[in-house]
Structure 1
Amino acid sequence: MSFRSFLLIPLVVFLLKCAGSAEGRQSGIFLPTELHPDYPGCPAVDSSLYYYPVIGILTHPGDGASGRLSNATGVSYIAASYVKFAEAGGARVIPLIYNEPEETLLKKLELVNGVIFTGGWSKTGSYYETVQKIFKKALEKNDAGNHFPLYGITLGFELLAMIVSEDKNILEKFGSSTKASSLQFIDKANIEGSVFQSFPPDLLKKLTADCLVSQNHKYGLSPEKLQNNEKLAKFFEILTTSIDEEDQVYVSTARARDYPVTAFQWHPQKSAYEWASSSKIPHTEDAVRVTQLVANFLASEARKSTTRPDAQEVRDNLIYNYIPTYGGKAGKGYDQVYIFT
């Protein structure tokens, strides 16, 4: 031992003694009970909330890769980015396979606390009918007092517009394929209670000035189209608009007036979880903050659900029972997909 180390030993002992004394604690770290004698410890959780929320994600026809991964009859998929998105907010996921027996699908709906309709292209046939059935069931749950949120993302928004308006030709063409954009708020005073309610002021400002969200769609609704349709205007309130490649304005975010339903013409999940499909997806820190906050809102709404499913039934149906496939090797399409045959 060096002479210097020998001299340091008494000093270390002295400091340790001070840290253990009342006099030493005056400049040290205090326990909560020392600062506040009546400190209650961790507060009790809100018993009205469900802290194990489960989100149902509806599969889409195909393999998500134009048959490169599977061309089996009746195959469907979920891009893994939607699953990760729901999990980022603190929820688990159960896949709702669009072409499984109706009895099975309806049983799964009793295990989830909210639903996501994903992006894609299918607007007809059994897929449209399944979306319609789930949407009707979601409204029924809410009408019965069970808070049941629903996110419609791109195609999901388009299908909701078709169903609510009862007009399968309601959509208009827009040129917003693989581009980033800003969001222009109709009235920031109306964001309370919406998906944007927890966004800090600096991020709300950046959303209007910077290209923080990913757009990839060929259809949509102009504000005039939505507002001039009696059924749509009664159901939806416009939150934001965006501009396509030809300077046409379209509705980019809307929410239902009387239900926990949010419709996105943009992809809130992509900034954090998709890398192969396009260099136009924004991956900045602020873009990822947007993804996180939108995911947080979905899970927070799902926690208000009164559904308390059987834990084992949930485990038997979770997405964890399936293995994702890496589809991004070619540098296009989704990075990962779950395929259901």
Structure 2
Amino acid sequence: MSVRILPDRRSFLWLNGFAGISVGFVNMKTILVLIVIYLLYCEGAVKLRQDDQLNNRPIIGVLSQEQSLFLREKYPEENYTSYIATSYVKDVEASGARVVPILIGKDRDYYEELMKKINGVLFPGGATYFNNSDGYADAGQHIYEIAQQMNDRGDYFPIFGTCLGFELLIILASGRSEVENRNRCYSYQNLPLRFTTDYRDSKMFSAAPLDILVILATLDVTVNSHQFCIVDDNLKSHGLDDDWLVTSHSDDQDGLEFIASIEHKRYPIYGVQFHPEKSFEWKLSKNYPHSAESIKANRYFMDFFVSECRKSGHSFNNAAEENEYLIYNYIPHFTGLLGSAYHQCYMLEPKGVRN
């Protein structure tokens, strides 16, 4: 069940966990008590962060995907086989982390070794098939399975999937087959979120600031650009509703309700159907929101994910090895000038040859 949050005072109090306090009974004594609770909470939170020894130099792997036919035609002489839109890299960097590109078409050992050195993985959105041999989905399956094994051993390793990446997470959890566990769903709109009644039980939203929640619930700030989606029945049909917590919905252009945000109940694995990184895309025809409110709200998701990645203590053996893997070894191309929906892209070649 989803509910619409309204930006009135009663909703504000309810969202902060004070649903039982009537607006008419918020007197000075109550306010002082709440201030004390807040200060005690903040003091405890600061101590917890100090004790936890968080990683303040997180590095996140961003999975590449097959080169699109459009871009392949624009670079006919180069042997580019995969790419990463720079908006994902900028999104990660704006939240205080660095990026390592993860190549497709590798054996499992490549992903196992790389994941020992990085602190989390982002499955980006895009447009590719899940049945390509040695492609995005095969690499994603290796990463998904390895991450589960790591977390089962107590080695904290988060994954975040956006749009296509979110759909891949659910398909992997369902078990890949010829009939993919997702629905046709057309949405090319900026939409608000309709939060579920228990969304505050999630890790993603349990500590989300009230102003962020109000923006997400009342304004058209989440960018949707997809032909497929995951609906509640996709979870129920494959017995996934016991393992995954749905936290919000939105509606497509035909009124179909789809899952907008989700997280795994056991593992630090998260997904959103929309595109928070589109704050860094500028194609006028796409009408991406760039208001101060939309940027503030969309920043929350990568800030949250990077905070999760800070809980991982993985690192490279030394600075020289770290530098060898970082995205800085690649040159971003101004693909927007060529007509691409992406303003810039990193083009990746076979076996990681630097361009």
TM tier, shorter chain? 0.7 to 0.9
Matches within 5 A, 1:202-281: 202-230=211-239, 232-270=240-278, 272-276=279-283, 278-281=285-288
SS of residue in 1 equivalent to 2:160: strand
**Cα RMSD over matched residues?**
2.2
Instruction: Tell me the residue number matched to 2:165.
Output: 156
Q: How many equivalent residue pairs?
A: 296
| Distance change (3 Å), C-alpha of 1:198 and 1:329 | farther
| 2:294 equivalent to 1:283 | no
- In structure 1, the partner of 2:59 is 54
User: 1:303 Cα deviation (Å)?
Assistant: 0.7
Alignment counterpart, residue 146 of structure 2, candidates 133, 137, 143: 137
Work out the CA distance in 2 between the residues paired with 1:297 and 1:180: 21
Give CA deviations for 1:29-61 in whole Å, capped at 9, x if unaligned: xxxxxxxxxxxxx99954621111000001010
Contact 1:98–1:130, Cα closer than 8 Å, also in 2: yes
Q: Structure 1 residue 199: deviation in Å?
A: 3.0
Q: Match of 2:53, as an amino acid?
A: S
Q: Who is 2:313 aligned against?
A: 306
Q: 1:183 aligned to 2:190? A: no
CA distance in 1, matches of 2:107, 2:181: 30
How far apart in 2 are the matches of 1:338 and 1:277?
21
Kindly report which structure 2 residues correspond to 1:16-95, keeping only aligned pairs within 5 A, or say none. Answer: 45-46=50-51, 48-63=53-68, 65-71=70-76, 72=78, 75-95=81-101
1:66–1:320 Cα change, 3 Å: closer
- Relative distance call for 1:248 and 1:311 in structure 2 (3 A) is same
The reply to whether residue 171 of structure 1 matches residue 177 of structure 2 is: no
What TM-score do the two structures reach when normalised by structure 1? 0.81
Kindly provide the amino acid, as one letter, of the partner of residue 182 in structure 1.
Answer: P
2:61 partner amino acid: G
Query: CA shift at 1:280, angstroms?
Result: 2.6
Q: Greater CA radius of gyration, 1 or 2?
A: 1
Give the whole-Å Cα distance in 1 for the aligned partners of 2:290 and 2:69.
22
Deviation at 1:194, TM superposition (A): 2.5
CA contact (8 A) 2:199 2:205 kept: no
Q: Which residue of 2 aligns with 1:293?
A: 300
Residue by residue over 1:182-230, the C-alpha shift from the partner in whole angstroms, topping out at 9 and shown as x without a partner, is 111012x433552234432132122122111100100012123323421
Q: Aligned pair in 2 of structure 1 residues 104, 224: CA closer, same or farther (>3 Å)?
A: closer
Residue segments in structure 1 that go unaligned for 5+ positions in a row: 1-41
Instruction: Check conservation: 2:229, 2:273, Cα contact below 8 A.
Output: yes
Report how far residue 147 of structure 1 moved.
1.2
- 2:343 pairs with 1:335: yes
Provide the rounded CA distance (Å) in 1 between the counterparts of 2:165 and 2:290.
Answer: 23
Q: TM-score, normalised by structure 2?
A: 0.78
User: Are 1:198 and 1:293, in contact at CA under 8 Å, matched by a contact in 2?
Assistant: no
Matched, 1:109 2:103: no
Tell me the secondary structure at the aligned position of residue 191 of structure 1. Answer: helix
Q: Quick one: distance in 1 between partners of 2:216 and 2:122? A: 23
Structure 2 runs not aligned, ≥5 long:
1-45, 350-355
1:10 counterpart residue number: none
Over 3 Å counting, the alpha-carbon distance change for 1:166 and 1:105 in structure 2 is: closer
State the SS of the aligned residue for 2:189. strand
Q: Is 2:283–2:343's contact at 8 Å kept on the other side of the alignment?
A: yes
**TM superposition shift of 1:279:** 3.0
Query: Which residue in 2 is equivalent to 1:98?
Result: 104
User: What is the CA distance between 1:172 and its match in structure 2?
Assistant: 0.6
Report the CA distance shift for 1:64/1:236 in structure 2 as closer, same or farther (over 3 A): farther
Q: Which amino acid aligns with 2:91?
A: F
TM-aligned CA deviation for residue 73 of structure 1: 5.2
Answer with 76-85 or 162-171: which moved more: 162-171
2: CA distance between counterparts of 1:69 and 1:221? 33
- Aligned AA (1:174): C
Q: SS state of the match for residue 67, structure 1?
A: helix
Partner of 1:12: none
Call closer, same or farther: CA 1:89–1:193 in 2, change over 3 Å: farther
Identity %: 29
